[in-house]
Amino acid sequence: MMHSLLRTLVAGVMTLAVAWLCAGCASVPLREQAASASGLTRSVFSGTKGEFVAIVFISTECPIANAMMPDIKALATDARARGVRVIAVHPASWATEQSIAEHARTFGIDGEIDVVLDARQEIAAATGATVTPEGALVRLDGNGGFERLYLGRVNDLYAAIGRRRATPTSNDLANAIRAAHEGRAIPAPAPRAIGCFIEYSSSSPSSSSPQQR
pLDDT at 146: 95
Q: Is residue 150 part of a domain?
A: yes
Q: Is residue 172 part of a domain?
A: yes
Core vs surface per residue 132-152: b (16+ CB within 10 A) or e? bbbbbbbbbbeebbbebbbbb
pLDDT at 49: 96
pLDDT exceeds 60 at position 183: yes
Provide mean pLDDT across the span 93-101: 96
pLDDT at 204: 62
Q: Is residue 6 part of a domain?
A: no
Provide mean pLDDT across the span 49-75: 97
Provide mean pLDDT across the span 97-108: 97
Question: For the chain, how many structural domains are there in total?
Answer: 1
* % pLDDT > 90, the chain: 72
pLDDT at 41: 74
CA distances from 110 to 68, 106, 114 (A): 15, 8, 8
Q: Is residue 73 part of a domain?
A: yes
Q: Is residue 119 part of a domain?
A: yes
Please give the Cα distance from 35 to 119 (Å, whole number): 16
Q: Is residue 138 part of a domain?
A: yes
Could you report the per-residue pLDDT of 125-162, keeping only the tens digit for each? Answer: 999 999 999 999 999 999 999 999 999 999 999 999 99
| More confident call, 64 vs 25 | 64
Q: Is residue 34 part of a domain?
A: no
Structural domain boundaries enclosing 165: 39-197
pLDDT at 93: 93
Confidence of residue 40 (pLDDT cuts 50, 70, 90): confident
Task: Provide the CATH number for the domain around residue 145.
Answer: 3.40.30.10
Q: Is residue 17 part of a domain?
A: no
